[in-house]
Each structure stands twice: as C-alpha cells, then as structure tokens.
C-alpha cells in the first residue's frame, strides 16, 4: 500500500515498513498527483484536504496529527466513505504551557499580578480544560465560557459577554462558520471595545476566531493593549502590520513540542493500523532527535525576599521563560517577517513562517526541565510543580 504523509510529522523521517511505500513531502506541497494512487494520507494543519486534493484519488483514509480538523472537509470525506482520524488532545498540555509562557513574559515586563487577576477561558475542549486545570493548580482565579459543553467541575461557567470582562481572555475554540455559536470572527470590533482597557487577549486556538482587520484597527487606536497571537487569519501570510503591533506573535507553534508530536504520531499510527488491520506501527523516536532533559539551577538572591510574593512571581516567570521564551522568539520572527513582507515574492513571508516553526522541532515541555529548587519558598515550589516542572533539592 502507498501512504503519502507530511514529512514534518515527528517520527516519520526514515520510516520503513514491510509492504508500505511511504512518500514524505512538505505538507504545503502535497498535490492531487501525489495522492492519485495512494491508499492513505497523513497531514497536519497546513494541508487542505477536500475534493480538490482527493477527488480523483484512491485514498481511503485520512489522518491529521492535529487536534483541530477545520482543514479537513469532513462532510465531503464522509460522503465519499473516506475514514478520518485526528489527534485531539495530543497537544493540549503544550498549548497550556504556551499560555503560561506568555503570561510569564507579562509578569516580567509589565509586573502583571497574575494571582490577583481573573482568567476567562473561552472554549473548554481538550486545550481549554488543560489550561484551566493548570491555572487552578497554580491558584489563579478562572471562569469558563463554552455554550456547547461544560466538562470542568468546580468552575463558574459564564456568558461570552461576562467572559470578555475578565482581566485575561484566552481563546481556545474550534473554528466554525454556522449555527448559533459560530466562532468565525467571534471577537469583532464591537466585542473588542467591550473588553477592559487593561485586559490581555490571548489566541492560541484558530486565527479567524478574531477579526484580524478589526484587531489591527483597535491596536492602531490603542497601541498599549496587550495581545498575544499564535494563530492568524491568512496563515502562513499573516498581516505584517498586525504582527508588528502585538505583544507576542508566533507562527502557530503553541502546540509544538516533542511530547505533543509523539502523542499525535501515536494517535495517527494507531488509527491507521486499525483502519487497515495492520500490525501496530511503532514510533521511530530517534528520528525526532534525542529526548534531552534540561538541568537548571537557580538561587534566591536574598533570604529576606524568600517569602515575598512579588519576588516569587518574578522567579517563577523567569524559570518559565528560560524554558520557553516567547518574547525573544517573537522579536526574531517579527524582524525577519517584516523584511520578507516587503519582498516582491509573496512566498517569502510564508517561508519565514514555516522556517520558524521548523526551528522548534526539539521544544520540550516543562516536565523535561529538572529545577534545583533548594531554598525556594514553599509557594514558589508549589507553583513550579503545578506548572509541570520537576523539582530537585
């Protein structure tokens, strides 16, 4: 059998299986000719899978190594009897850690008093649930907004209007265009103006959930508003003007981590094996590089500051950003992208977008960082443990 797959799905590099012809290509470059005689297609979010791609193919099964499926025409695939699988939940912890890393940057740069704020999580699927649980473990006040499901206990579910009054607003909804709870342009000009002036807006869900043109106009009028965007309208060519005005902007990498990709790959392989009644396909972990553990030592500067909450907060934020520093990543991405956006070649921006993503193939989650925490206050140690770090004396 022939399987066409995105070459950036971790563990596929060098993949060899008896009786399987693996064809690996860049996800943005997979064409209808590539899949014409294929039996299965494995993709990520960068590949649009619809009639234009598969209409004349022999593909019987499609799997995406992502949580979201808005790049798949599910109705068309179902009508053609093509099996579909996704990796829902595989990257939930990675995205939750991305949000913590963004908030850590705000603690360091703006003295954000996170533990005095209320965080509203809009969209409480796998990612929203993971984020709420992590925030609650940290002792941060949270509310949730999701009219379709209420899967987290012991938390207040509020309306969208109430959620938009929170101090920090995190968007983790799927992208939907129809129905009473459609999320396309959910955050529009009117709703941007109802938010508190000092509110932080974080979108690590789907780019088109925010009206990007309205957001740009809003930031041009109120340049001090804090916005963190990992996802954009018109990916991989987001608005250079919008990118230049946000506090943090990254090229759709919140869910990128070695751990998330391994989990997603296993989901895809399991589904593929089950669909075709194959022997269980094993992960080739070595293809993703060594699974290193980061060993870091920190010291409190002064014993008199040991139990100062502000000092603990800044120490916490410092450790988080050393593990995953988003402001430095943003500055590099923005600098290169602004130059590319002025090029006569429209592909230059897309190439920058994808090149930054490729640089993060070895990002590890917080659990891969062992922190020597001797002398830390009980509060700081508890926060680091709740975030997922491994503490050592």
Catalytic positions are 206, 235, 252
Phi, psi dihedral angles at 241 (to 5 degrees): -65, -45
Q: Can you list the positions of beta strands (E) in 260-351?
A: 294-297
Give CA separation, 99 vs 25, 111, 119, 124, in Å: 31, 16, 11, 14
Interhelix angle 309-323/378-387, nearest 10 degrees: 30
Residues forming beta bridges with residue 391, ordered by sequence position: 371
Residue 71 CA to residue 26 CA, distance in Å, equals 16
Return the structure tokens found at 221.
């009028």
Residue 127 CA to residue 317 CA, distance in Å, equals 21
Q: Is the Cβ–Cβ distance between 183 and 160 less than 8 Å? A: no
Burial category of 346 from C-beta neighbours within 10 Å (exposed 0-12, middle 13-18, buried 19 and up): exposed
Kindly state the DSSP code that residue 43 receives in the 8-state scheme: E
Could you tell me which residues come within 8 angstroms of residue 15 by beta carbon, excluding any fewer than 6 positions away?
A: 22, 24, 284, 287
Residue 154 CA to residue 300 CA, distance in Å, equals 35
Q: Radius of gyration over alpha carbons of the chain, in Å? A: 22
Torsion of CA 357, 187, 89, 59, to 10 degrees: -70
Residue 182 CA to residue 238 CA, distance in Å, equals 22
Helix (H, G, I), strand (E, B) or coil at 160: helix
Phi, psi dihedral angles at 118 (to 5 degrees): -115, 130
Return the structure tokens found at 95.
């995205």
Q: Is the Cβ–Cβ distance between 119 and 84 less than 8 Å? A: no
């Amino acid at each position: 059998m022939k399987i066409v797959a995105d070459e950036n799905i971790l563990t596929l590099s060098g993949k060899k299986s008896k009786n399987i012809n693996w064809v690996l290509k860049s996800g943005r470059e997979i064409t209808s000719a590539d899949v014409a005689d294929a039996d299965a297609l494995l993709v990520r979010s960068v590949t649009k899978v619809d009639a234009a791609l598969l209409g004349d193919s022999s593909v019987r099964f499609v799997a995406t190594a992502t949580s979201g499926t808005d790049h798949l025409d599910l109705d068309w695939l179902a009508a053609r009897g093509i099996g579909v699988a996704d990796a829902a939940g595989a990257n939930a912890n990675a995205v939750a850690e991305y949000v913590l890393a963004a908030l850590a940057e705000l603690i360091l740069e703006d003295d954000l008093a996170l533990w005095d704020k209320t965080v509203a999580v809009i969209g409480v699927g796998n990612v929203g649930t993971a984020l709420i649980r992590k925030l609650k473990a940290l002792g941060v006040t949270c509310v949730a907004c999701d009219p379709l499901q209420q899967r987290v206990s012991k938390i207040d579910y509020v309306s969208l209007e109430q959620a938009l009054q929170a101090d920090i607003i995190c968007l983790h909804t799927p992208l939907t265009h129809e129905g009473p709870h459609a999320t396309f342009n959910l955050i529009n000009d009117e709703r941007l103006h109802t938010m508190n002036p000092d509110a932080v807006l974080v979108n690590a869900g789907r780019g088109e959930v925010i009206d990007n043109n309205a957001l740009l106009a809003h930031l041009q009028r109120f340049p001090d508003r804090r916005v963190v965007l990992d996802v954009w309208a018109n990916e991989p060519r987001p608005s250079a003007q919008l990118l230049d005005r946000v506090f943090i902007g990254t090229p759709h990498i919140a869910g990128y981590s070695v751990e998330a990709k391994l989990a997603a790959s296993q989901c895809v392989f399991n589904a593929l094996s089950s669909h075709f009644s194959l022997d269980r396909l094993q992960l080739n972990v070595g293809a993703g590089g060594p699974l290193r553990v980061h060993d870091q030592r920190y010291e409190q500067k002064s014993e008199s500051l040991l139990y100062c909450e502000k000092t603990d907060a800044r120490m916490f934020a410092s450790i988080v950003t050393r593990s995953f520093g988003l402001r430095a990543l943003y500055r590099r991405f923005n600098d290169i992208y602004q130059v590319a956006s002025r090029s006569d070649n429209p592909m230059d921006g897309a190439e920058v977008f994808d090149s930054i993503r490729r640089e993060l193939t070895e990002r590890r989650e917080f659990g891969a960082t062992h922190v020597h925490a001797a002398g830390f206050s009980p509060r700081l140690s508890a926060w680091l443990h709740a975030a997922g770090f491994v503490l050592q004396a």
